[in-house]
Homo-oligomer: A and B are copies of this chain.
Amino acid sequence: MIALSLIGIGTGNPDHLTRAAEGAMRAADLILLPRKRAETAELLDLRAAICAAVVGETARTATFDMPGRDPTLPYLDGVDAWHDAIAAAWRGAIARHLPDGGRVALLVWGDPSLYDSSLRIAARLRAGAMPVTVEVVPGITSLQALAAAHAIPLTGLGTPLLVTTGRRLAAEGWPAGTEMVAVMLDSGCAFERLDTACTSIWWGAYLGMAQESLLAGPLAATAPAIRDERTLLRARHGWIMDCYLLRRDAARAAASDR
């Protein structure tokens, strides 16, 4: 029997860890750490450092090679095959290190509920021959770290927030019916495709880490600065994780159209 804990660890700052996350890490017989080809060693090291800080030298960790996604397949087919391959990698590592079962923990950036596929991959384990229970420990998401760093709310008085991806925003433009849009997983600069009128942006990268970078202001004036900063930081660190909040004053935008 395998008890799998998917533990949200926040955005790389050990201070983001909750008591529940620390408890689940300490209770684990094995903490599985992915080694990604496309990722610099820094992120693996960061996860290992969090293990060491929380559990200490007794932490039993094992790394596994994270499969890559086949970019030649159509997007959803590619993701499906990729998740199958990750499930197989988890299964192999667990069988190797815990042949008699036990508690396995996986550390998830942010929160397992938001743009993370660990739950979908875990479902593949459960669908296989391996008896698995799944527990989720919530963690601070990059959007929360962004809002905290800028000291801004993500919602107005009773108004909605749309959380979406850079891909969607670029393809579909400003979503109907909302003045606040939080954007994750934007490997480009989808905000550049938007009409900038009456729109503001709050952007952050490496949130909560020593490298944290923040920019905010009217979209028209701030977008070029964010593009430049992203290019510079990605070159400097070899990787970047960022997100942003957009707010459009719909009433003012409509008035200026008249």
Q: Hey, which bits of chain A sit against chain B, CB under 8 A? A: 8, 10, 13-20, 22-23, 75-76, 79, 111-117, 119-120, 134-141, 143-145, 147-149, 151-155, 157-165, 167-168, 172, 175-178, 185
Measured CA separation A161–B181 after assembly (Å): 10
Contacts of A163 in B (CB 8 A): 154-155, 160-163
Measured CA separation A13–B143 after assembly (Å): 22
Known pairs A15-B19, A138-B148, A152-B113; A172 contacts B162 (CB<8 A): no
Q: Are B18 and A144 in contact (CB under 8 A)?
A: no
Known pairs A17-B19, A140-B140; A151 contacts B165 (CB<8 A): no
Q: Are B148 and A136 in contact (CB under 8 A)?
A: yes
Contacts of A17 in B (CB 8 A): 18-19
Q: Are A151 and B119 in contact (CB under 8 A)?
A: yes
Question: How many copies of this protein are present in the complex?
Answer: 2
Q: Are A144 and B15 in contact (CB under 8 A)?
A: no
Q: Are A136 and B147 in contact (CB under 8 A)?
A: yes
Q: Are A148 and B137 in contact (CB under 8 A)?
A: yes
CB nearest neighbor in B for A169: B160
Contacts of A136 in B (CB 8 A): 147-149, 151
Known pairs A113-B147, A138-B140, A153-B113; A18 contacts B10 (CB<8 A): yes
Q: Are B119 and A152 in contact (CB under 8 A)?
A: yes
Known pairs A160-B163, A163-B155, A164-B160; A148 contacts B15 (CB<8 A): no
Measured CA separation A152–B116 after assembly (Å): 11
Known pairs A15-B18, A18-B16; A119 contacts B160 (CB<8 A): no
Q: Can you pick out 28 interface pairs between chain A and chain B where the beta carbons lie within 8 Å of each other?
A: A8-B144, A15-B19, A16-B20, A18-B18, A76-B157, A79-B157, A111-B144, A112-B147, A112-B148, A113-B144, A113-B148, A113-B154, A113-B155, A114-B153, A114-B155, A114-B161, A120-B153, A136-B147, A138-B148, A139-B140, A139-B144, A140-B140, A159-B168, A160-B162, A160-B163, A161-B163, A161-B164, A172-B177
